[in-house]
């Protein structure tokens, strides 16, 4: 988890094949899942936010069929950052518009 602005920007563009300046949040976690970084483009510059847990681990969601990518809603991101296990929670079956990619 030593990557900064340039390294994370490169990971998003080269490995994930996504546009780092899209306005999406890109979340990265280390192997032991006790540190994470968020990369965000606000329109005129990159933000890198980091969090390190003193004890415990983040409950990282499992990849489905997207390889290294996992898509989270803003509610799921809030739960993840708050220490809630996403595998043990379930969302109500509400209507939600999903963009086709």
Domain enclosing residue 63, as ranges: 5-88
pTM: 0.79
- In total, how many domains does the chain have? 1
Q: How confident is the model at residue 63 (pLDDT cuts 50, 70, 90)?
A: low
- Cα 31 from Cα 8, distance rounded (Å): 15
Q: Write down the mean pLDDT value for the chain.
A: 86
Contact 40, 26 (CB under 8 A): yes
pLDDT, residue 98, reads 74
Question: What does DSSP assign to residue 87?
Answer: G
In a domain, 34, yes or no: yes
pLDDT, residue 44, reads 94
Average the pLDDT over 13-27 and give the result: 94
pLDDT, residue 65, reads 55
In a domain, 95, yes or no: no
- Cα 1 from Cα 28, distance rounded (Å): 8
């Amino acid at each position: 988890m030593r990557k900064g602005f340039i390294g994370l920007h490169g990971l998003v563009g080269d490995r994930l094949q996504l546009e780092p300046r899209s306005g999406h949040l890109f979340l990265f976690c280390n192997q032991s899942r006790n540190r994470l970084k968020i990369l965000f483009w606000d329109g005129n510059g990159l933000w890198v936010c980091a969090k390190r847990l003193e004890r415990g681990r983040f409950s990282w969601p499992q990849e489905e069929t997207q390889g290294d990518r996992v898509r989270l809603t803003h509610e799921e991101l809030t739960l993840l950052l708050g220490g809630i296990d996403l595998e043990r929670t379930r969302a109500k079956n509400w209507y939600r518009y999903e963009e086709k990619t």
